[in-house]
Amino acid sequence: MEVGYVYDPIYLKHDTGEHVENAGRLEAIIRRLEETGLKQQLTPVKPRLASVEELLLVHQRQHISRIQDVAKKGGGWLDADTVMSPESYEVALYAAGGTIMATEAVMGGKVGSAFALVRPPGHHATPRRAMGFCLFNNIAIATEYALAKYKLERILIIDFDVHHGNGTQEVFYTRPEVVYISTHEYPFYPGTGSVEETGSGEAKGATVNIPLPAGCGDSEYLEVFDQIIVPAAKRCRPQLILVSAGYDAHWADGIAMMQVSVSGFRQMVRIIKGLADELCGGRLVFSLEGGYHLNALAASVKATFDVLLGNASIDDPLGQSPRSFRAPKIDSLIRAIKEIHKLP
Ligand SMILES: [Zn+2]
């Protein structure tokens, strides 16, 4: 099956100045896809603006108006981490719309799987506020869109960004039709994502948090995938899998303290693809979240596409982490999560 990608130069116009979340990230990814010839193997999917009605599936009208107002007034800082330029409102609509179109391409059968290479990222944005570099919650909006348009009953979101997707968790915390699984460094920004946060009401158990101590690398992440994510995904029996794909758990990424390599991301994506093939006819949509070391980010996104395409090549220019300390022990954490979620 064909593999789609969403990209448009419009995404470079969210001008954040010297911020770590800047246009250079997408430029590095696209350059890598072009230089390696990978881009020709992919099917372009055109993004569009998300409509206000689509944003309202997730966000309060007041929040949408505020982002629009700040853009009109020339941009500015929304909090200590999150900055906007005059174009950012429009670009953020394209980021949400790009993730919708990636989902649309997969659900409509135009491609087997797709990756929305968009910015600003989304998973920290809550119904009522922007935070953590995120304006609108792209993955949550695409999820709501797919639930409504295709009358889906079960969607799985896997979030392997190094930060907890507090916004996504909040949107679906009481919604049994969406299972949200997140691996993240903990304790760390934004502070949420403890083992005990499991959803509420009918959705008790539909939020699966895997808060990992700093220093985890490929083997710890793969253990978590094997022991928790795979059985939780199988129990969910999703009709579609969406992925908040952040690559800031890479060992070279200065924003966090994890030790994952490009090969580690490749293996995680291979497991996710296997789940999609087994559980939902391969229907799989990635949306870009974090990842701030340009070489690690570009190589990891390329590795993701290689897995989706079924390419055998292993291209890890950065290699394994040079970590000089002992990996943290996570056995008891895994046991605790399995017990809370009654996983086999
Ligand atoms: Zn992140």
DSSP H or E stretch at residue 71: helix 61-72
- The two structure tokens encoding residue 262: 């490009």
What digits encode the pLDDT tens for the residues 249-290? 999 999 999 999 999 999 999 999 999 999 999 999 999 999
pLDDT band at 45 (very low <50, low <70, confident <90, very high): very high
The H or E element spanning position 265 is: helix 262-279
- Give the pLDDT band of residue 300 (cuts 50, 70, 90): very high
> pLDDT tens digit string along 116-165?
999 999 999 999 999 999 999 999 999 999 999 999 999 999 999 999 99
Quick check: bond before 187 cis, omega within 30?
A: yes
Burial state string for 44-80 with b = 16 or more CB within 10 A and e = fewer than 16? ebebebbeeebbebbbeeebbebbbebbeeebeebee
pLDDT at residue 324, rounded to an integer = 86
C-alpha to C-alpha distance for 245 and 84, rounded to whole angstroms: 22
- The CA distance from 160 to 166, in Å, is 13
Asked if 120 and 32 touch (Cβ cutoff 8 Å), the reply is no
Which DSSP state fits 280? S
Q: Which of 14, 63, 124, 164 is catalytic?
A: 124
Q: Residue 314 pLDDT more than 80?
A: no
Find the 25 Cα to ligand 1 centroid distance in Å: 13
β-strands 3-6, 155-159 pairing = unpaired
Gap from CA of 246 to ligand 1 centroid (Å): 6
Distance 292 CA to ligand 1 centre (A): 9
- Are the CB atoms for 153 and 239 separated by under 8 Å? yes
How far apart are alpha carbons 30 and 44 in whole angstroms?
12
Please report, as a single letter, which amino acid is at residue 306.
D
Cα separation, 240 vs 103, in Å, equals 9
124 is catalytic: yes
Write the pLDDT tens digit of every residue in 189-227.
Answer: 999 999 999 999 999 999 999 999 999 999 999 999 999
Counting Cβ atoms within 10 Å, is residue 177 exposed (0-12), middle (13-18) or buried (19+)?
middle
| Phi/psi of residue 119, nearest 5 degrees | -155, 155
Dihedral sign for Cα atoms in the order 315, 261, 163, 149? positive
List of residues 6+ apart from 66 with CB closer than 8 A? none
The candidate with the shortest Cα–Cα distance to 35, out of 301, 293, 262, is 301
**Residue 75 pLDDT > 90:** yes
* Lowest mean pLDDT across 30-39, 49-58, 311-320: 311-320
Ligand 1 centroid–CA 299 distance in Å is 17
* CA distances from residue 15 to 21, 47, 92, 108, 196 in whole angstroms, order as listed: 9, 19, 12, 33, 38
Q: What is the mean pLDDT of the chain?
A: 98
| Tokens 């580690």 found at | 264
For residue 109, how far is its CA from the centre of ligand 1 (angstroms)?
30
Say which residue the tokens 């709501």 belong to: 144
Mean per-residue pLDDT, 2-25: 98
Angle at 227 between CA 226 and CA 229, to 5 degrees: 70
Spatial strand order of the sheet with 43-45 comes to 43-45, 3-6, 113-116, 284-288, 240-245, 155-159, 178-185, 207-212
Closest C-alpha to 253, from 200, 208, 289, 224: 289
CA of 291 to the centre of ligand 1 (A): 7
> Which residues are CB-contacts of 263 (< 8 A; sequence separation ≥ 6)?
218, 303, 314, 316, 320
